[in-house]
Structure 1
Amino acid sequence: MDLKAVFTCFLAVLAVKVTSASLYDPHMFPDKGPFFEGWYMRVSDLYSRDSFGLLFGSVLPSSSGNITAPLVVASVLLRSCDKTIDTCKLVSSDGKFTLNDLNITVKGQPVQSDPDKTAPPDFKWQVNSGSQGGYFEQKGGITTFNFRLGDLILRGKATNPSYWNDQGTGPEGWLINLPLPLHWFVYSLRSELSSCEIQNVTSGAVTKVYTGAVHLEKNWGNSFPRQWIWSEGVSFDNDNATFAMSGGLVDFPFLSVNAYLIGYRNPMKKLSLDFRPVDSLISTQIDGCTGNVSVSVYSLRYKLDINLVAPVATLSSCLLGPEMHGFVRACVESYDATATIQIYERNLLLFGYKLIEQKKFEKIALEFGGMHVCGGKCSNSMPPEEL
């Protein structure tokens, strides 16, 4: 055996893992639904503290008959501010398309296999119908996007992604390998914005962002859960702290469980914490009518307390989310929420905790989905024509 060759190959594998995260690449659609795959991006302007989002994805429905909901959607999310009441409400400009309008490629070719987390991402998601549509491309560490949806044109570029971890598994860790009904993967907690502008083609107004942090993630599986919350935020201080969390009611064939994935990063304090259902216990209090969320999570070494609040007036109308028969009214979201996070470390004698980090994040994203939406106003039973 050529030990030198084996060692060289081993080093090459390690080098690939350091630049991994290709679960961001598209998956193969199965022969039969239900299946969906969607991507989400949020840009936070580090100067003005404004932010906006982009989401896009497609659904393979559980049946082919009488499908009225859109199967392909792309949306731009903006804060619409009323200076007279000093409040900004999140609004959505949507494009609804068919599967025939959609073209997804990996390395310039049609998708031929599921992504492998040992290679960097290289894909392009593109949709066009008349004057509407656009593309999102991820090639190595460079993200580019250019969409026209409704009266809005959004285009820009981001570089230098900050991966969730070096193994390419994202928030789920080794759970990513299980056939779960829903997966959540964060490609970058904080990419650097190179350029970005958003233009209203009707009014002619143009907004440019020169210094920003970009959050990049995706979901795939059967459909969104019956109830969930999601949140993400970046620090506007020099510590570059970030957090992201997602969780809700996950349905399995014979039971349903509440499961949450939470990550917190503060590079200056060398904090990189993950909490998953297999290694932590969690308690939550969620009130979509007041916009309040309280979370306490315990692991063997750490305790994490998170308090999230979104002023009700800043919550969007119902946004589109993927279900088994297409995109439907599913959730509400704010980009003007606040998170207060306290981190405790268990002492050496395993009795009690010591506070090691206290951080407040402003202008974060907070989403209430499914049954967590106040009054069930985003009920999936609403007729598709009312979307």
Structure 2
Amino acid sequence: MANPLQTPHSGYHGYGINTRFFEGWYYRVTLPDCGDTFAFMYSIDDRTGGKPDSGGAAQILGPDDGYLCRTFPKVNQFWASRTSLALGHWGKTDLKISPQYLDSATFDRHIQEGYQATATWNQGKIRDWHSPSNSYCRWQYEIKPIYGWGNPGNVQQSTAGWLSYFQIFEPGWQVLMAHGLATGWIDWHGKRYEFTNAPAYIEKNWGQSFPQKWFWINCNSFDNQPNLALTAGGGRRGVLWWMESVAMIGIHYEGKFYEFVPWNSEISWQIQPWGNWAIQARNSQYEVELVGTTDRAGTFVRTPTQEGLIFICRDTTYGKLTIELRCRRLAMPSQFYGKSKTILKAFTSLAGLEVGGNKG
């Protein structure tokens, strides 16, 4: 395997599927020096074409929760690997070849609009032709993976467990890279951001529908904790012919993976429609508490639905978040019985916080 941290589900799932189907990818890079974040969201819907919602899109959540979106209606200009994380979509181009990965210089010269992304590279350019200011973004940066999803050195794990190999849950979800380091540049409306070894993150989802309602927390840029990455999420999702409410927390810290999932932990959560996120979990060895808040209005981004891409997902990348991870007394030597031991307590004001669903 070219990438030893490659996770399950890294390849594109949509080949050979003729029914309604979407797949989406999320690339994030955080710039601690200036306190800004860029989140790149790529999606392809009904790739076989000929349906009302067939097509792709690239959305960007930028500084000050700014937003930019460009659609790519030609599904035959999308490409993706079946076996690894690699995809792209061309918009305007003078090339007459089939869509494929290009070296960065060739892409920059011949692709007027579009993107290409892998486990180690993210590049593209889009423009909002309808905005009075002709808002645009150009970007290219390389990525060095640090954590996939699981303990380093071990086979990487499915975020939703082994059942995610079957079309049981809607949608499928996979953290592709919990933490990495990005080096490159982003040109946002004429302002150029250059960065070296900035925290980076990648995930994806796929299926025929999104959850009825969901929440999500993510950060790998904590104060004075360069080797800490957190992803948590939950919601009401489809399971075969019924619905269930589930949640999970995954933490990579100092080379170790702490996983709190329904099959090994008790998890509870209190999520307000907007502004406050609280999640608690514990298993036989560890317990964790997350508290996220924001006083920002956030930004609505588009999400695939049965009605196509619509604004039912609300995000900010400036969330305040505290995390406390403790070792439970039952898992420690007898001299510690009667109290838990704090492994980690950390804070950030650069967390990704999200709620979504039928009521936003």
Alignment of 1:345-360 (within 5 A): 345-348=327-330, 353-360=340-347
- Normalised by the size of structure 1, how large is the TM-score? 0.76
Letter in structure 1 aligned against 2:157: T
Match of 1:185 among 171, 174, 196: 174
Shift of 1:178: 3.4
CA distance in structure 2 between the partners assigned to 1:38 and 1:298 by the alignment: 30
Match of 1:243 among 211, 230, 236: 230
CA contact under 8 A between 1:21 and 1:169: conserved in structure 2? yes
Match of 2:77 among 102, 112, 131: 102
Q: Which has the higher contact order (CA 8 A, sep 6+)?
A: 1
Match of 2:184 in 1: 195
Alignment of 1:1-387 (within 5 A): 18-21=4-7, 23-60=9-46, 67=52, 71-80=55-64, 90-100=65-75, 102-106=77-81, 114-115=82-83, 121=84, 123-129=86-92, 133-138=113-118, 142-150=120-128, 151-162=135-146, 163-165=148-150, 166-179=154-167, 180-200=169-189, 204-234=190-220, 235-267=222-254, 270-289=255-274, 291-313=275-297, 315-316=298-299, 318-348=300-330, 353-371=340-358, 376=359, 378=360
- Give the secondary-structure state (helix, strand or coil) at the position aligned to 1:176: helix
Shift of 1:160: 1.7
CA distance in structure 2 between the partners assigned to 1:100 and 1:265 by the alignment: 37
- Give the secondary-structure state (helix, strand or coil) at the position aligned to 2:211: coil
Shift of 1:64: 6.6
Distance of aligned partners of 1:133 and 1:319 in 2 relative to their CA distance in 1, 3 Å threshold: same
CA distance in structure 1 between the partners assigned to 2:307 and 2:356 by the alignment: 17
- Give the secondary-structure state (helix, strand or coil) at the position aligned to 1:28: coil
Unmatched tracts of structure 2, length 5 or more? 94-110, 129-134
Distance of aligned partners of 1:64 and 1:135 in 2 relative to their CA distance in 1, 3 Å threshold: closer
CA contact under 8 A between 1:134 and 1:146: conserved in structure 2? yes
Q: What is the total number of aligned residue pairs between the two structures?
A: 326
Unmatched tracts of structure 1, length 5 or more? 1-14, 81-89, 107-113, 116-120, 379-387
Distance of aligned partners of 1:154 and 1:25 in 2 relative to their CA distance in 1, 3 Å threshold: farther
CA contact under 8 A between 2:49 and 2:75: conserved in structure 1? no
Cα deviation digits, residues 154-177 of structure 1 (max 9, x gap) = 212222212122423342232332
CA distance in structure 1 between the partners assigned to 2:240 and 2:49 by the alignment: 19
CA distance in structure 1 between the partners assigned to 2:47 and 2:307 by the alignment: 5
CA distance in structure 1 between the partners assigned to 2:192 and 2:122 by the alignment: 19
CA distance in structure 2 between the partners assigned to 1:46 and 1:105 by the alignment: 31
CA distance in structure 2 between the partners assigned to 1:323 and 1:62 by the alignment: 17
CA distance in structure 2 between the partners assigned to 1:160 and 1:208 by the alignment: 16
Letter in structure 1 aligned against 2:115: Y
Letter in structure 1 aligned against 2:267: I
Distance of aligned partners of 1:328 and 1:362 in 2 relative to their CA distance in 1, 3 Å threshold: same
Shift of 1:16: 7.0
Cα deviation digits, residues 195-215 of structure 1 (max 9, x gap) = 122242xxx433333441111
- Give the secondary-structure state (helix, strand or coil) at the position aligned to 1:331: strand
- Normalised by the size of structure 2, how large is the TM-score? 0.82
CA distance in structure 1 between the partners assigned to 2:3 and 2:200 by the alignment: 22
CA distance in structure 1 between the partners assigned to 2:145 and 2:3 by the alignment: 14
